[in-house]
């Protein structure tokens, strides 16, 4: 499995902190620089010739941020056309290309309002145009490493794309030309893949030709590839890995571009004490400053019951929580099972007609729930069903996020609380009474959808876009056409 560490980076050169094995939270982090802003100029913005060169260079280099060549070509030759193009570029690279109407309802993470005009006016007036340009993109290592991945995969596209893998399964010890084909395909994305797997059998006569062998080095390369795609690292080449290797390079480029776009939806600085969930990889990571201090597997929403992207704050932890069943789940999944089942599982029908499950070890919420305000009625919680955490496919909930180690997370959040010591938490749970523990140091939580990210070893990780949000985002960006 893979774990993104949406670990933090502090501007260019910062290293994304990634927890292996728990693959999926590609690097978020606090930023020190803010886009230059200032009062709007009293008249037209008139960059000097030197400043005009800096602006034109940024527009020419827009493809480094995923934009099409010529996307911001000035619509004229005068300064006014250059300024207009620069403002279009600034808005796109800082806040993204979607209008408010382009966001799905469950894309609850939205870019902050941004008007680049005052910033450009101040930059021109103070002769700080290059500094202003540098401040525009997301100031996070997670974005910057995706820029490098964009270059890598564009080069692969120019070279002709990926070598297709036929429907042949291979395992360690196999020999023959298919083994060499697999080695060559892995080497297209993995710089650590072996340069050769050709070997002579023991006792081979002089002049014999070496034969490609599925050796230990190739087995390790297969395991690395499986981890990069969020699969169990068995070292055996079969249908699951073959499917991922046969995804066209153009599709991988779209995933990189979609994730770069989502980085632009984040605020320019992030709270140092925070929790991040990568929905697509089903991994939760806790951050203190720039350090990832805890990571665990999660279960996130299955397609059709998507976990939304959002930002909120955990303000309370509920011990022994009852479960107020959403109406749709009650009607479609539980009530048809009959009153006998409902009674045996601790459910009761409320006076208003709702369905509630009593707290306890068998409750769907387990023994603990983490509350944070949001309009989607989702939260983090425990679960009595632990088996799913052993799976590499963990999109199975109705939208909430189930946690592998909820008690460890609760103790971390309440660590400085003199009342809610680990002993008090345990005693309260053992007592069975529903109790709400207010968090004295609220912690922000981000639910994010990362399907392309780079780990500290430089490997580009991909997930299969389980909700189809990469495809939809790229379609909606394309529908915008030429940026106005």
Q: Which residues are catalytic?
A: 381, 400
Structure tokens at 376: 């989607």
Nearest CA to 132 among 31, 54, 36, 219?
36
Per DSSP, the three-state class of 226 is helix
- Yes or no: say if 317 and 372 are a contact pair by the CB < 8 Å rule: no
Is 285 buried (19+), middle (13-18) or exposed (0-12) by CB count in 10 A?
A: buried
Distance of CA 358 to the CA centre of its chain: 34
C-beta neighbour count of 352 within 10 angstroms: 5
- Residues near 66 by beta carbon (within 8 Å), at least 6 away in sequence: 147, 150, 256, 257, 260, 261
Virtual torsion, Cα 190, 192, 197, 203, nearest 10 deg: -170
- CA gyration radius, the chain: 26
Distance CA 2, CA 264 (A): 24
User: How many CA within 13 A on the CB side of residue 18?
Assistant: 30
CA distance 368 to 371: 10
Query: Packing angle between helix 249-263 and helix 141-158, nearest 10 degrees?
Result: 160
Which residue's entry shows tokens 């345990």?
426
The pair of structure tokens assigned to 21 is: 């094995």
Determine the Cα–Cα distance for residues 173 and 185; give it in Å rounded to an integer: 18
């Amino acid at each position: 499995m893979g774990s993104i560490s949406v670990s933090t980076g502090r501007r260019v050169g910062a290293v994304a902190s990634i927890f292996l094995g728990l693959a999926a939270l590609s690097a978020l982090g606090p930023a020190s620089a803010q886009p230059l802003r200032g009062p709007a100029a009293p008249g037209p913005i008139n960059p000097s010739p030197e400043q005009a060169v800096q602006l034109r260079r940024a527009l020419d280099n827009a493809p480094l941020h995923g934009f099409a060549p010529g996307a911001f070509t000035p619509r004229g030759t005068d300064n006014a056309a250059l300024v207009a193009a620069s403002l279009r570029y600034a808005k796109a690279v800082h806040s993204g290309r979607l209008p408010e109407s382009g966001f799905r309802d469950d894309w609850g993470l939205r870019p902050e309002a941004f008007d680049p005009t005052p910033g450009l006016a101040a930059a021109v007036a103070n002769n700080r145009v290059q500094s202003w340009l540098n401040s525009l993109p997301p100031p996070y290592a997670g974005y910057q490493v995706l820029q490098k991945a964009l270059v890598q995969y564009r080069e692969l596209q120019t070279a002709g794309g990926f070598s297709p893998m036929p429907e042949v399964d291979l395992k360690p010890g196999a020999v023959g030309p298919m083994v060499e084909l697999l080695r060559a395909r892995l080497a297209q994305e993995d710089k650590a893949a072996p340069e050769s797997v050709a070997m002579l059998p023991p006792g081979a006569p002089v002049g014999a030709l070496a034969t490609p062998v599925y050796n230990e080095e190739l087995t390790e390369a297969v395991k690395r590839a499986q981890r990069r795609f969020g699969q169990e690292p068995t070292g055996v080449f079969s249908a699951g890995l073959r499917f991922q290797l046969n995804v066209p390079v153009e599709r991988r480029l779209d995933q990189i571009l979609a994730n770069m776009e989502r980085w632009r939806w984040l605020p320019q600085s992030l709270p140092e004490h925070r929790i991040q969930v990568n929905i697509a990889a089903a991994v939760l990571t806790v951050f203190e400053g720039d350090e990832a201090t805890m990571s665990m597997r999660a279960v996130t929403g299955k397609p059709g019951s998507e976990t939304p992207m959002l930002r909120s704050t955990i303000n309370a932890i509920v011990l022994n929580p009852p479960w107020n069943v959403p109406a749709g789940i009650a009607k479609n999944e539980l009530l048809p099972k009959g009153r006998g089942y409902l009674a045996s599982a601790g459910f009761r029908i409320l006076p208003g007609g709702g369905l509630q499950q009593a707290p306890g070890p068998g409750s769907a919420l387990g023994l603990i729930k983490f509350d944070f305000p949001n309009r989607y009625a989702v939260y983090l919680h425990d679960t009595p069903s632990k088996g799913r955490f052993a799976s590499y496919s963990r999109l199975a909930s109705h939208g909430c996020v189930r946690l592998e180690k909820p008690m460890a997370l609760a103790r971390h959040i309440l660590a400085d609380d003199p009342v809610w010591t680990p002993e008090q938490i345990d005693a309260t749970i053992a007592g069975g009474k529903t109790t709400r523990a207010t968090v004295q140091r609220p912690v922000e939580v981000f639910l994010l959808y990362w399907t392309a990210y780079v780990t500290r070893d430089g490997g580009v990780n991909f997930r299969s876009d389980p909700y189809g949000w990469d495809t939809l985002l790229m379609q909606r960006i394309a529908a915008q056409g030429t940026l106005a």
